[in-house]
A and B are shown apart, each in its own frame.
Chain A
Amino acid sequence: AQKITQTQPGMFVQEKEAVTLDCTYDTSDPSYGLFWYKQPSSGEMIFLIYQGSYDQQNATEGRYSLNFQKARKSANLVISASQLGDSAMYFCAMREFGGGADGLTFGKGTHLIIQP
């Protein structure tokens, strides 16, 4: 079973609109972290935002916020006031504390295109 599911392969959004990118996860570990990365066409993975499983509040970083619904095991990324430069691949990822120091488990990504 997939641990990270991103159900939107691609999205088209008008500039200045808000956009929500979906992410659901699967884990039995009570301690885990959720990450969102942006990958522009240049290929580099850029860290956007982090949410810990025990965090009481939803994470926010500038125009990025994370809609964390623990009972539903979802961690959707919300980008407010989208800009043309937001066009990129977006990946949701998870690290489970019980997994020790292993790497991140990534979803397949969502290709976001912002239209003028």
Chain B
Amino acid sequence: GAGVSQSPSNKVTEKGKDVELRCDPISGHTALYWYRQRLGQGLEFLIYFQGNSAPDKSGLPSDRFSAERTGESVSTLTIQRTQQEDSAVYLCASSTSLAGGIKNIQYFGAGTRLSVL
């Protein structure tokens, strides 16, 4: 597609349920990033993928959060046993190969707004 696509755009769930958020990056972009944005805040980096490898998972808020990526395409962010504090907008971004250096522009999707009741 032309841009980064995220689904669903909105998700309402009950506390304790599992949710899966999906990100479809720009075609040809090998790097993929997940961020969380709480209400009125800046973006908080969660995890990135180079290809289907995630070298550093330390940004994930807790062990209830996991992410995977199939090849160099779709990624899913899974939150198990959701809590109310997980309510936020989850944004995905993609960029060309990291070999391009520090100026790798990240292009963002519109995000998934997660509400945990």
B102:A43 contact, CB within 8 angstroms: no
B34 to A, closest residue via Cβ: A103
CA distance A4 to B53 in the complex (A): 28
- A50–B105 CB distance below 8 A: yes
Could you tell me how many residues of chain B have their Cβ less than 8 Å away from some Cβ of chain A?
30
A selection of 28 A-B contacts at a CB cut-off of 8 Å is: A31-B102, A32-B102, A33-B102, A33-B103, A35-B105, A35-B106, A37-B108, A43-B110, A43-B111, A44-B108, A44-B110, A44-B111, A45-B91, A46-B108, A50-B103, A50-B105, A91-B43, A93-B43, A95-B102, A101-B50, A102-B45, A103-B33, A103-B59, A104-B45, A104-B106, A106-B42, A108-B42, A109-B41
In contact, A105 and B110 (Cβ under 8 angstroms):
no
Chain B residues with CB under 8 Å of chain A are: 31, 33, 35, 40-46, 48, 50, 55-56, 59, 89, 91, 93, 98, 102-111, 113
In the complex, how many angstroms separate the beta carbon of A46 from the nearest chain B beta carbon?
8
Residues from chain B with a CB closer than 8 A to the CB of A47 are 105-107
Q: CA A97 – CA B52 in complex, angstroms? A: 22
